[in-house]
Amino acid sequence: MTVSDKVVNKTNALPQVGDVNNAANVIYDPNGPGQLNRSVQERLRDVVSVKDYVDGAGGGAEVIQAGLESATAVAIAKSADLYWPAGSEPLVTNQTIPGLHSVRHLGAGSIKAGSNIFNLQPSSTDVNRLYMAPGGKGDGLSPERPLNGFSGTIAALRNYMPLSGRWIVVGAAGIYNESVTLPDWLANGANYLSFEFPSVGGSQVEPSVYTAFLDGSGLSALSGFNTGQGNRVSITNLCMRNWYDPALSNVQQVRRALAVAAGSVVFVQNCGFYGNGLSNISALPGGSVTVSGGISDGARYGLDNTGGRMSLSATSSTYTIVRNALEYGLYSKHDSSTVFDYTEFRNNGRLPAAVAYGSALFGYKSNCSIDTRGCKFYQNNICWNLRGGFGADNPGIPDVYGVGGEANIRRYLCRAGGVDDLSQYRSNRWSDITLRFAGGSTSGVAEATILNGIATTRVGYVADQDQAIRMIITCRAQSADGLFTPTIRLISGEAVALGTYRVNAGAYGRIELFMRPTSSRSAFQLQFSCLGASQNLGQAVGQLVSGYIDLPNESLTFEVAGRSLSDSGTAVLNSCNVELSG
């Protein structure tokens, strides 16, 4: 009631007759125009006040409990708001309050169940906790009176949306056989909703030994946990399993365990995933998810980033394991960004039908980017499969690639280069990888390196027959014939010659080498074509096989050595370009 509102004694205007000290007999005259006059009693009953049923925090537990239940029941019956005046202490409740989360609450008051203090109309700095368990029958104010799983908890949370402050849902161990979809914009901005389950005792615990499971067995929902749009959520120590359609084959699956929708920011900590269909974690367009710890096991795609933001942000001890994905450990496309710190990728892309493309990382289309730092790759079919997407790692914290029994079948399959995906997705583009562009010379008959470090490849980058190296050398011989020997320098320092080529005295020569790995990936099949020069056996065009190179485990550095056939002669290297395809 404002200071300008009027309370007028007009008992004659009322149908009832009685003492004017009774609020039912006093007219409440609100500000006009167009107002309706009601009695003060009617006006006061627009809102039910807890204080009309509970006299402070005193009076004994049973009296307070009965008053809280009565106040809630009246508010429900009258479809009225329930007002909680601020008090010096929270009101103590010792058992479930029926209908508590069916009423809209007002005021700064709070209630206490055990050690948990629950604010009925929380501010942005308050923290509220609700407890849930499979089959729970309580109001969620304490572990002894949990709400009924996710469905009961979300129904309760709807009553307070949009949520203000931090809300923590503490889930008991057990099997939650239900799908979860959060209401759009339930918790956004600076506000926060957290689902926390019993600790599993580590960052890489086997999913099957978790104590809390969101289980899709027998259900038809497309997602196990859908975050809804515009929410800020965290999920800790939950295993999501069996979101799989048994009527479909493993490469036709459409069901996801966790789907992060547009505008939502989700933090996934120490969660496990197994037995799922399309993917374990999906960042949908505009969604953002940060993952720390846990194991993602199986599914068609372990992780799926389709136009979202995904970060596996961890340390060397809290890393995530992505393993046994049938086609891709990560499937990413459409303006997506994915960053991996210390993630371990194991046995991904090994489905027999996916032998040509299955991989730990798959980046598709030019606006897709994948960044790694300190990641580990073991027993994958292909580590990096970039079909137009952009990939990068951090040389300061290099990735680790397994060897021996832990070796990957292939490290790199990089194609398309951001051009059309209609036909050229199968194409390889030439890239100039030359690092040193100056020439050089050497005089006399002693062979010397004319230019070293001309170009270098990553370890294992050139190891397969759909890749190639092209080396183009221009040179000349002064005063006497000159010999030029392009060379590959290995990690050990050993040099592998790529043939020796003669240029006649006073002439210029152009030498072009085209190299593909052999099927055994242990040498290069080399074709040479010379203009103004010849291979040392006299041929201008021909082919040869390089010496032994363990291509999957070597970094290749290209250089050119030379000498003259006379002490007075000079072998001059004008230029050398090295290009890479695939």
pLDDT, one tens digit per residue, over 157-185 is: 999 999 999 999 999 999 999 999 999 99
Q: Which helix (H) or strand (E) holds 44?
A: helix 40-44
Tokens of 95: 């058992």
Other CB atoms within a 10 A radius of the CB of residue 74 amount to 17
- Asked if 163 and 126 touch (Cβ cutoff 8 Å), the reply is no
Least confident of 160-169, 242-251, 475-484, 526-535: 242-251
Please tell me whether the peptide bond between 246 and the residue prior to it is cis, using omega within 30 degrees of 0: no
Model pLDDT, residue 40: 58
As a whole number, the mean pLDDT across the chain is: 91
- Asked if 203 and 161 touch (Cβ cutoff 8 Å), the reply is no
Least confident of 137-151, 170-184, 389-403, 407-421: 407-421
Residue 38 has pLDDT above 80, yes or no: no
Model pLDDT, residue 475: 96
Annotated domain spans of the chain: 6-44, 431-581
- What is the C-alpha separation between 160 and 320, in angstroms, rounded? 34
Residue pointed to by tokens 């002439």: 507
Residue 9 has pLDDT above 60, yes or no: no
Residue pointed to by tokens 């055990």: 114
- What is the C-alpha separation between 141 and 160, in angstroms, rounded? 15
- Asked if 369 and 339 touch (Cβ cutoff 8 Å), the reply is no
Residue 334 has pLDDT above 80, yes or no: yes
- Asked if 127 and 165 touch (Cβ cutoff 8 Å), the reply is yes
Other CB atoms within a 10 A radius of the CB of residue 514 amount to 18
Tokens of 368: 């897709």
Mean local confidence (pLDDT), 537-564: 94
Residue 10 has pLDDT above 50, yes or no: no
The torsion angle over the Cα atoms of residues 380, 385, 390 and 393, rounded to 10 degrees, is 20
**Torsion sign over Cα 241, 244, 250, 255:** negative
Residue 571 has pLDDT above 90, yes or no: yes
Tokens of 530: 């010379």
**HEC sequence for 543-560:** EEECCCCCHHHCCCEEEE
Exposed / middle / buried, residue 362 (Cβ in 10 Å: 0-12, 13-18, 19+): buried
Q: In sequence order, what are the residues at sequence separation of 6 or more whose Cβ sits closer than 8 angstroms to the Cβ of residue 32?
A: none
Mean local confidence (pLDDT), 275-293: 97
Mean local confidence (pLDDT), 435-450: 94
Tokens of 133: 């368990």
- Asked if 81 and 106 touch (Cβ cutoff 8 Å), the reply is yes
C-alpha angle 380-292-230 in degrees, rounded to nearest 5? 115
Model pLDDT, residue 184: 97
Model pLDDT, residue 247: 92
Please tell me whether the peptide bond between 30 and the residue prior to it is cis, using omega within 30 degrees of 0: no
Considering the four listed CATH numbers 2.60.120, 2.60.40, 2.40.160, 1.10.238, the one that applies to the domain covering 431-581 is: 2.60.120
DSSP 238-301: -EEE----TTS-TTS---EEEEE-TT-EEEEES-EEES-SSEEEEE-TT-EEEEES-EEE-SSE
pLDDT, one tens digit per residue, over 25-34 is: 567 667 777 6
Other CB atoms within a 10 A radius of the CB of residue 149 amount to 22
Residue 43 has pLDDT above 80, yes or no: no
Model pLDDT, residue 18: 54
pLDDT confidence band for 1 (50 / 70 / 90): very low
Mean local confidence (pLDDT), 364-381: 93
- Asked if 239 and 210 touch (Cβ cutoff 8 Å), the reply is yes
Q: What separation in angstroms does the CA of 265 have from each of 163, 261, 333, 341, 568?
A: 15, 9, 19, 19, 73
Q: In sequence order, what are the residues at sequence separation of 6 or more whose Cβ sits closer than 8 angstroms to the Cβ of residue 577?
A: 432, 434, 471, 472
Q: Which helix (H) or strand (E) holds 92?
A: strand 91-92
Antiparallel, parallel or unpaired: β 534-535 and 430-432: unpaired
Mean local confidence (pLDDT), 441-465: 94
Model pLDDT, residue 427: 77
Residue 45 has pLDDT above 70, yes or no: no
Model pLDDT, residue 24: 65
pLDDT confidence band for 59 (50 / 70 / 90): low
- What is the C-alpha separation between 110 and 90, in angstroms, rounded? 5
Residue 517 has pLDDT above 90, yes or no: yes
- Asked if 381 and 345 touch (Cβ cutoff 8 Å), the reply is no
pLDDT confidence band for 15 (50 / 70 / 90): very low
- What is the C-alpha separation between 325 and 465, in angstroms, rounded? 26
Mean local confidence (pLDDT), 210-222: 96
351 DSSP 8-state letter = -
Least confident of 34-38, 288-292, 453-457, 554-558: 34-38
Nearest to 466 by CA among 527, 516, 515, 424: 516
Antiparallel, parallel or unpaired: β 534-535 and 390-393: unpaired
pLDDT confidence band for 63 (50 / 70 / 90): confident
